[in-house]
Structure 1
Amino acid sequence: MTAFTYAEVGATLHEPLPAGYRHLHYRTYVGGEDVFDRAAEAILTFGMHRRTGARIRTEAGRAAPGVRLTVGAGPLSVPCEVVWTADEKDRAGFGYGTLPGHQATGEEAFTVERDARGRVWFSVTAFSRPATRLMRLGGPAAVVAQHLYARLCGRALKKLCAESRTVDP
């Protein structure tokens, strides 16, 4: 059994997010309905994460519950495990949770959704709190870094979808 560092496994699937954590909600427009499949694939295969410059080490090429991955950025390298995935007609993505050795404790989800008007939106939803002394000391800087990473993911996804569009027939 996996030893997640928090009790509320899967809580990024619904609102409200658990109390006692910092919450992150980020949403950005990706494009028209023609980009949905490309965006979903980029998220589910960790391509969006890699495009941000993050070092991704994983045992699988696609997100699925139980898949472990390590996300590295700068001097940090954090272990996570996918806790849920969605690969539906109008919604795709995954959520991963923190494992021992992660500087924070909590869960983060990356999803793309197509709304009723055909617009495609990327969202990051997370709840977290510091797990190490260094992270507690980092306080506001850690929060800013998490928000910046969410925005970086959104920009990376938009670029990947735009590039794919130029090569498709």
Structure 2
Amino acid sequence: MTAQEPAFSYTPVGRTAHRVTPPGFSPLFVRTLLDTGEAAFAAASRAVLEWRMHRAMGVRMDTDAERAAPGVRVTVSLGVGRWRVGGSCRVVWTAEEERRAGWAYGTLPGHPECGEEAFLVEYAEDGRVWLTVWAYSRPAVWWTRAAGPAVPVFQRLYAHRCGQVLRRLAREGDAP
């Protein structure tokens, strides 16, 4: 983080790497089977690390970086027209390992939620390839507080949609 970069809108930062939910946050855990084999793992990993999973879902990912890397700032927005909602985030951690690849971002001030969300592709010993979406969050603005229980439902649907889209991308391989 440079002197010009704002601090994250929450603490502690980085707990998604250990699948720990800090006190005062609501957890989210969704795991989706994508496919089997090394080729599926490689394709899914690239799609997650290069923002393609999100963009294929129709999520706007405004960033200058071609890939997720610690410190990269990204503005995420969902919806259409005047119903588009967005917020700034910064990548907290990345993983590019033999059997795991992914990243997490944390919210910055002004985001409608505060917390962290991780997208991790794992290549299991049995050959199956999984996407895990792990997050912890709490409302940061009046309208997400007012939405109450609808927000976690939307977050869960979003995480399931990530898995559906990444399954398709993993099966397509290197196709854009």
TM range (shorter): over 0.9
Counterpart residue number, 1:4: 8
Provide, for residues 73-126 of structure 1, a one-character-per-residue CA deviation record: whole Å limited to 9, x for no partner. 112011110000000000000000000110010000000001111111000000
Q: Residue type of the partner of 1:76?
A: V
Tell me which of 69, 80, 101 is aligned to 2:74: 69
Deviation at 1:16, TM superposition (A): 2.9
Partner SS for 1:50: helix
Q: Residue type of the partner of 1:49?
A: H
Measure, in 2, the Cα distance between the counterparts of 1:73 and 1:130.
17
Is 2:94 aligned against 1:85?
Answer: yes
Q: Residue type of the partner of 2:103?
A: F
Deviation at 1:65, TM superposition (A): 0.4
Measure, in 2, the Cα distance between the counterparts of 1:61 and 1:15.
26
Tell me which of 17, 28, 41 is aligned to 1:24: 28
Partner SS for 1:41: helix
Q: Which aligned runs of 4 or more in structure 1 are off by greater than 2 angstroms?
A: none
Is 2:47 aligned against 1:42?
Answer: yes
* Percent of aligned pairs sharing the same letter: 49
Which ranges of structure 1 fall in alignment gaps of 5 or more residues? none
Measure, in 1, the Cα distance between the counterparts of 2:61 and 2:161.
15
Counterpart residue number, 1:141: 150
Q: Residue type of the partner of 2:9?
A: T
TM-score by length of 2: 0.91
